[in-house]
């Protein structure tokens, strides 16, 4: 694990920040290419991407900060995004809202835009979770499985591990939950791209993303470490509750009967 990939004097390139930037660039490229296929001007995607980057960063950071106020000594610490610390669902939900507002103002069907963006969102999950792994944030719970990981002591995961090791009298290992998330991001991306010819109804690709991600994320959180304040209902986390809601919305989008035309570019 390497939280800082490059260090030259005062200049640092942080793993999380780099992977986050790569996820945005890859998402813009993939979505712009897909826009052409579905008869949408790629410039709309480029314009929207500015708002999505801002909403993704702001939303994910704010939701994390709300539940981790004790980690910040000053307001300025909140803006140190390169050090990690974000809750994906905060950015995800705010980005959906921003996309809805943008599509209405541009008079474009929201579900058409959502279908275009859906695979890019999964690709972004794959890349950013690698950044989380390198930074030692968003880590898993203790495990005795052979692929359990020991993180650097200065990372958030390493700090947690020191406490476990002191109690157990040995070196504790953790689930590499970040890599689990990265793998299922890749699985969702490939699944959406390969099955899209069958998902010709507007909103179906987006619905499939919500179903798959909601299901995977709900399951993954049983292997994630969470502070007690994140467990809000009989041991169920806030993220798991959001996952169930998204799963339900996704199933509705896949099952609904609609008079909307199929997406341009679909057969």
Q: 10-residue block means of pLDDT along the chain (267 residues)?
A: 73 81 93 92 94 89 73 65 70 93 93 95 94 89 91 84 70 92 96 89 94 96 85 85 96 79 51
**Where is 18: in which H helix or E strand?**
helix 15-37
Distance CA 135, CA 154 (A): 10
Task: Say what the pLDDT of residue 267 is.
Answer: 37
Q: How far apart are the first and last CA of the chain?
A: 45
Distance CA 200, CA 174 (A): 41
104 burial level (CB within 10 Å; 0-12, 13-18, 19+): exposed
Task: Say what the pLDDT of residue 88 is.
Answer: 84
Token look-up 């989008």 returns 253
Task: Say what the pLDDT of residue 85 is.
Answer: 63
Task: Say what the pLDDT of residue 75 is.
Answer: 65
Residues in the chain: 267
Task: Say what the pLDDT of residue 140 is.
Answer: 92
Task: Say what the pLDDT of residue 161 is.
Answer: 85
Task: Say what the pLDDT of residue 90 is.
Answer: 87
The residue ranges of every structural domain in the chain are: 4-196
Distance CA 236, CA 247 (A): 16
Give the helix ranges, DSSP H, for 175-203. 177-195
């Amino acid at each position: 694990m390497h939280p800082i990939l490059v260090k030259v004097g005062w200049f640092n390139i942080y793993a999380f920040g780099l992977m986050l930037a790569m996820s945005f660039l890859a998402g813009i490229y993939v979505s712009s290419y897909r826009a052409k296929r579905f008869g949408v001007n790629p410039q709309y995607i480029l314009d929207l991407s500015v708002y999505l980057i801002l909403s993704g960063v702001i939303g994910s950071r704010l939701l994390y900060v709300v539940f981790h106020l004790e980690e910040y000594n000053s307001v300025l610490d909140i803006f140190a995004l390169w050090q990690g610390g974000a809750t994906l669902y905060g950015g995800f939900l705010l980005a959906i809202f921003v996309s809805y507002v943008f599509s209405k103002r541009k008079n474009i069907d929201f579900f058409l835009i959502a279908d275009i963006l859906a695979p890019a969102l999964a690709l972004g999950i794959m890349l950013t979770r690698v950044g989380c792994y390198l930074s030692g944030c968003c880590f898993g719970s203790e495990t005795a499985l052979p692929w359990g990981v020991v993180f650097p002591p200065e990372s958030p995961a390493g700090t947690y591990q020191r406490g476990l090791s002191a109690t157990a009298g040995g070196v504790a290992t953790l689930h590499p939950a970040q890599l689990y998330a990265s793998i299922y991001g890749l699985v969702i991306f490939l699944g959406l791209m390969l099955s899209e010819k069958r998902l010709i109804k507007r909103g179906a690709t987006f619905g499939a993303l919500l179903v798959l991600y909601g299901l995977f994320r709900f399951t993954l959180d049983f292997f994630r470490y969470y502070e007690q304040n994140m467990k809000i209902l009989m041991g169920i986390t806030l993220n798991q509750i959001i996952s169930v809601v998204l799963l339900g919305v996704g199933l509705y989008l896949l099952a609904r009967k609609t008079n909307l035309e199929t997406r341009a570019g679909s057969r």
